[in-house]
Amino acid sequence: MLKIIAAVIGRDLKLALRRQADIVSALFFFIIVVSLFPLGVGPEPDLLRKLAPGVLWVAALLATMLSLPRLFADDHRDGTLEQLALAPHPLGLAVTGKVFAHWLVSGLPLALLAPVLGLQFDLPTDALLVLTGSLLLGTPALSGIGAIGAALTLGLRGGGILLSLLVLPLYIPVLIFGAGAVDATVAGLGGEGHLSLLAALTFAALGFAPWASAAALKIALE
Amino acid sequence: MKDRFNLYRFASPATFYPLAGRMIPWFAAFAALFGLAGLYLGMLVAPTDFQQGEGYRIIFIHVPASWMSMFIYLVMAFWAAIGLAFNTRLSGMMAQALAPTGALMAFLSLWTGALWGKPMWGAWWVWDARLTSELILLFLYIGYMALVAAIDDPRRADKAGGLLLLVGVVNIPIIYFSVQWWNTLHQGSSVNLTKSSMAVTMLWGMLLMAFCFWSYAIAVALARVRSILLERERHTDWVKAELLGVGDGERA
Amino acid sequence: MIYWNSFGDFIAMGGYGFYVWGSFGLTVAIMAIEPVLVGRRLKNTQARLKRQLRAESRKETA
Amino acid sequence: MLAAEQLACVRGERRLFANVGFRLDGGELLYLQGRNGAGKTSLLRMLIGLLPPEAGQILWRGQDIHEQIDEYRAELCYLGHHNAIKEELTPLENLLLSARLADETLSEDDALDALEQVGLAGREDLACKYLSQGQKRRVALARLVKERRALWVLDEPFVALDVAAVAWLAGIISGHLQRGGLAVMTTHQPVDIPAGTVRELRLG
């Protein structure tokens, strides 16, 4: 069971590394969107500190969305998705691998980059730590839920826009608890409650999403 | 064994199409009846609310619309589950026929909520937990309709749409809970609705209106499912017989 | 039995007329338009399919 | 071993075929023929269990394939008209990966040997995007060299191959049949397979 997950992760990471432009452009998108906000709302540190959690989290959400349409599309086009579906083990395991690999190349870099961008918004150190922690905890759920949307819209016209329409409403709880954790830390209330709820969401999403995605992929492959 | 047989008979499109046709006038009549009775009680008989004045009368459509918007989504998810589990043709069509009405109900709930909120809270829109959840529910409806419309093959559309509905219905409690939590953290308890003890006439007015919306939704959805049925099954013998039969009736 | 003293009071809704009638107006409009649209769609579908059917049967007999 | 009974297929709203059935035993090959759009590929997708049939059933060793899907797929090898290779990876990596993902053991020596057989010696370490169409097809076909699964389902395997490669592939399929394997394939140009019983099924 772990063997197949590891094999898929290994394959997707190898492919992502041979096509670094995708990872880098999603990261740049994140950086640019976050940096645009101070230009839009003005440089007052108080206002920026208040906006920072929401801005960083929304930008992370959008940056994740960018890479989702290709999660299954490439494999679908060249026929490897069929081969994965025909392997003698449940497709959900392979999808679990793909979700992890997607997180490793999209969510993880975002989380590692976020504290640097948080400095632009004058966030205190403890808030920066919580920001990184909340992104580390929450982005796997984004990859998981996103995989469902990517599988449902596989091969459809205008799939990218449709994908955001389907997935963004489902991202709301992650956004609320993720940004809420940072917010609470800035306000001096402590973000532990938010973080544990975020962890619960991520576990639920990672348990449930690959199987829902696998079901959607089977529908798309019919 | 006999029950099983009957169930299958009603689930078959050929039986369901004329059955739906016969049921529509009844539900339309119920809707009109309940609506008139509800409006009479709610608008003419019920006394004013001592805290909210006459503005509270929006409740007679706001609450039924909100109930229906949630209820219809649950019914759609129920059909989706049936369709995915038993591979019945009718289920997906039922879900699709309900979706536009459910979306309209969600929209009406938001619209009347805004018109209620302005005089009560002084703002057209507040990020109250209920309004926010309702807005997200509207997004879910729109997402479902967009997905189904984007898929050409009707069977794939049914299955993918059904899967999305199930994912949505699992998420709705999570979304509602998170929005409520977020709301209490940010707003305190400043915008809670006044909970006045409701007069009996008000309660009856609201229930009657809820029945009206309920019958209305069933009638509209049945009419819509009839068009979808004809469209989908246009190559089958029963549709041909049905259409030619209708033609004969008109000529006679 | 009836709560209102005059028709004018009923319309004014104690100063909330705009909000109350705005809500009821749109609801009534939607509930009037939606069934008409759905009914027309059903009629159109029936008529179109019947036309197609006739064209097919003519082709078969010819 | 493989039997199909009363299969029917509906795509969109078109009924492609109905009442299709056949039996296939060890050492036998089924040629699937028919004009474009007759449902050849759809039938193949039913046989590999991706497309649920509208009516009828498919039996493997006497049992419905959907009741034993993982066991069935452990005995199944499918080659679609997509090559199922990754352009960014080399032929060697592709071969090793597809074996790993299909839960098979394939040593690097075996893989190199297979690539040599399909005439890709010296190109093992070149990313597949630099290969020609025919060469990419050969990478996909190299899977068959060490493939010991009982049932091969091949969708247009001879497309984009030159004469020598066609002969080579026919030999590979013969070897498979001689070992008692089964094969189902679609093709526009019937190729002589030297060994095994050949059955034909015409759709449409």
Q: Which residue has the higher pLDDT, A167 or B131?
A: A167
pLDDT of residue B9: 55
d(CA A83, CA A75): 9
Which tokens go with D107? 């040593």
**D111 found inside a domain:** yes
Closest to B182 measured CA to CA, from C28, C49, A42, A181: A181
Chains that touch D (3 or more CB pairs under 8 A): A, B
What average pLDDT does the structure give for chain C? 86
Give the side-chain half-sphere CA count within 13 A for C17.
Answer: 9
**C50 found inside a domain:** yes
Asked if B242 and B231 count as a contact pair (C-beta separation under 8 A), the reply is: no
CB pairs under 8 A between A and B: 68
Closest to A148 measured CA to CA, from A213, A217, A57, A75: A213
**D128 found inside a domain:** yes
Q: Which residue has the higher pLDDT, B15 or C61?
A: B15
d(CA D203, CA B168): 42
Distance from CA of D12 to the nearest CA of B (A): 5
In chain C, how many domains are there?
A: 1
| Touch test C–A: 3 Cβ pairs or more under 8 Å | no
Give first-to-last CA distance, chain B, whole Å.
41
Q: Which residues contact B131 (CB under 8 A, 6 or more apart)?
A: B110, B113, B117, B125
Closest to B42 measured CA to CA, from B192, B198, B196: B198
> Looking at the predicted complex, does its ipTM rise above 0.85?
yes
Region class of D200: left (phi > 0), else alpha (psi between -120 and 50), else beta: beta
**C15 found inside a domain:** no
**C45 found inside a domain:** yes
Q: At residue A216, does pLDDT exceed 90?
A: yes
Which residue range is the domain that position D120 belongs to?
Answer: 81-148
Assess D10–A contact: CB distance below 8 Å, yes or no. Answer: no
Sign of CA dihedral A94, A97, A103, A109: negative
Assess D41–A contact: CB distance below 8 Å, yes or no. Answer: no
Write the pLDDT tens digit of every residue in B37-93: 998 888 888 777 767 777 788 888 999 999 999 999 999 999 999 999 988 889 999
**D53 found inside a domain:** no
The proportion of chain A whose per-residue pLDDT surpasses 90, expressed as a percent, equals: 76
**D122 found inside a domain:** yes
CB pairs under 8 A between B and D: 8
pLDDT of residue B189: 40
Which residue range is the domain that position C60 belongs to?
Answer: 32-62
Low-confidence ranges of chain B (pLDDT < 70): 1-11, 50, 185-198, 246-252
The DSSP element (H or E) to which D9 belongs, if any, is strand D2-11
User: CA angle, corner B108, sides to B174 and B188, nearest 5?
Assistant: 45
Task: List beta partners, residue D64.
Answer: D59
Assess A200–B contact: CB distance below 8 Å, yes or no. Answer: no
**Mean of pLDDT values over C16-22:** 86
**Mean of pLDDT values over A24-28:** 92
| Touch test B–A: 3 Cβ pairs or more under 8 Å | yes
**D38 found inside a domain:** no
Closest to B13 measured CA to CA, from B235, B247, B244, B246: B235
Q: Which of B147, B152, B187 has the most A C-beta neighbours within 10 Å, making it the best mutation to test the interface with A? A: B147
Low-confidence ranges of chain D (pLDDT < 50): none
Which tokens go with D196? 């095994």
